[in-house]
A and B are shown apart, each in its own frame.
Chain A
Amino acid sequence: MDGGGIGGLKVTAMIAKSDVVTAYGWGLDALWNGLMSRRSPIHASKRFAERGFVSDQMADVPDLHIAPGESRAAALLRPLLTKLAGKLDPRTPLILATTVGEIEYVEQAVLNADPSLAQQAGPQTLLRRVKELLGLRGEAMVVSSACASSAAALTRAASMLRHDEAEQVLVVTCDSVSEFVYSGFSALLSLCDTPARPFDAQRCGLTLGEAAAWALVTSDKTPLASGAGTAILGWSNTTDAIHMTAPHRDATGLSRAVSRARIMAGCTPGEIAFVAAHGTATIYSDAMELVAFRRALGTPRPIFSVKGAVGHTLAAAGMVQILVAGRALREGVIPPTVGLETPDGSAIGWAHGDPVSIAGARRALSTNSGFGGVNTAIILGRGVA
């Protein structure tokens, strides 16, 4: 591996426009203000009350209108994308990032003994729905890399721009809270029976959440890329190749990704002002991340996780935290890690339960990891680098 970056390529990818829905409601303002309020929308839900799972906590989108026959994922996407329909060049390439797509169709296929329903659950079906809703006719693909999916999709969009394959790429992501996924994480004993507490000494597991979001990634050479956007300056995707669900305890894969992303971005560890961490609140994943940050960045700097507030939104997790990180770069402050009360010993000096001023900061790191040992690291910049 020569680690030589991508010399000679002059295009910087920018997140020029975006929208998001989380358990805080619709829009980035709702998400940002919710985080800054330190109020968590995670709650005890009766949706799966009869199932006997290890937890009843979740961060689902309140008052979601689901049309008859519609999947929860599609219901999350529809209002976001309807506002965007007709406003994009129809040739705009589309990347959909999801882990399970419209998994309710698999549930219904099993419960109703109708295998034909399962065919609708494939992410390719949701991809076609999104294309039709937006009136797009260009290249389209699904990217799925477990809980790093939307972050990985943003790296693919940035790569397409740098290789001059497109002038802009739309990245759409969504995953919903379903019985299928909830039962699986319950079986793996990954769920906490109280709201998740990322990087806390008393953390005991994750809370599942749901979210949908889109980001229009453009070249910094286009008029859309205003100074208010968030630049994708460098990135790296790696695999631990150790275990299907457990993180690598010495954080080799993630620290490698962070270092390479930083080298691609052409910045020093000291220039990275803060980290938007994956921060699932599981014991081993949080510990692994802190090992990686210490190894790749050296001295402590502020980190935050949104998962004590909006839960673990699976494929959407990366884009949600990147949109928050972009807002933090513009506001000069990072939000508190909601749910954090007493930082774990290894998180002292890194994670904070209060907002932290980062006035003047120009570079940030965002990291995600997932099943199969995947890791994605992205270096973000304020405005055009």
Chain B
Amino acid sequence: MIRACAWCSPDSCGVITPKSRFSQFRSPGRVSSEELTELIGRPIKYASRMTFECRACLYAAGLALKTCDWLDGASREIGLVGAGYDGCLLADDRYFHDYVTSGRSLGRGNLFIYTLPSSTLGEVAIALGLTGPGLHIHGERDPLGTLAQQAEQFIADGETDAMLALWSDAVSAVCLAIDRAKDASDKSPSFPSPDMSRAWLDLPVESNPACLARRLALLAGSA
């Protein structure tokens, strides 16, 4: 069951739940270390070295966890699935360009570790203490739908209690918080609500996280 949908883009952030909507403008640009500290409630180690994508993912994931009251990682095991290559490709280019311009003999390990599609998920898991499954899964046709489906399977298989599904590009991230129904009679609110369906399920195939973030901001602002 999808409990919350949070986003972070260069100009807005927010979260929508079945019962509430919150959205605010951000100063344009990357998420600052101070913004992360304020949201998470403690300084994030190595935040200054993280890529733009990583910071956006961390902020969106933190917002989703906080909204669901799951920020205390000790209370339940939470996993993470993510999709998005733009940030990874930038990291690839940054690493190899640095290596070549430095003489093509010695690369920088601290840049190399961000060159995997799953690097961002690893950093988010470390920062937020997420110890469940951590996989990059990029569906060809519907990246966010594939993530949500895979997240539900991880929970149904008993691999974890809850999952975050992160769809990101180089500067924006959208995060779904998903857990299981408490029992067959569980009527607690979950998505997709009709409003969410309009924002998410009706997305054109060629859309991207930034596009969805704009729709979510409009949706939240219309409340």
Contact = CB atoms under 8 A, between A and B. Distances in A.
B140 A124 contact: yes
Interface in B150-180: 150, 153-154, 156-161
Contacts of A244: 113, 119, 122-123, 126
A3 interface: yes
A109 B93 CA distance: 8
Interface in A115-130: 115, 118-119, 121-124, 127-128
A374 B92 contact: no
Interface string B100-120: 100011111100110111110
Contacts of B22: none
Interface string B120-161: 011101101111111111111100001000100110111111
A118 B93 contact: yes
B99 interface: yes
B146 A187 contact: no
A158 to B, nearest CB: 9
A6 B155 CA distance: 10
Contacts of A144: 116-118, 135-138
Contacts, number: 187
Contact of B107 (A146, A184, A236, A260): A184
A52 B138 contact: no
A180 B92 contact: yes
Contacts of B106: 52, 183, 186-187
A240 B122 CA distance: 9
B80 interface: yes
Contacts of B156: 6, 163
B96 A106 contact: yes
B59 interface: no
Interface in A238-280: 238-245, 253, 256, 260, 264
B126 A121 contact: no
B7 interface: no
B137 A143 contact: yes
Contact of A373 (B125, B135, B150, B153): B125
A256 B160 CA distance: 12
A99 B116 contact: yes
B97 interface: yes
B118 A371 contact: yes
A321 to B, nearest CB: 19
Given A236-B159, A374-B135, 5 more contacts: A100-B115, A145-B118, A156-B153, A371-B118, A373-B122
Question: What 5 pairs across the A-B complex have the smallest Cβ distances?
Answer: A372-B122, A184-B112, A237-B133, A239-B134, A187-B107
Interface of B: 73, 76-77, 79-80, 85, 88-89, 92-93, 95-97, 99-100, 104-109, 112-113, 115-119, 121-123, 125-126, 128-141, 146, 150, 153-154, 156-161
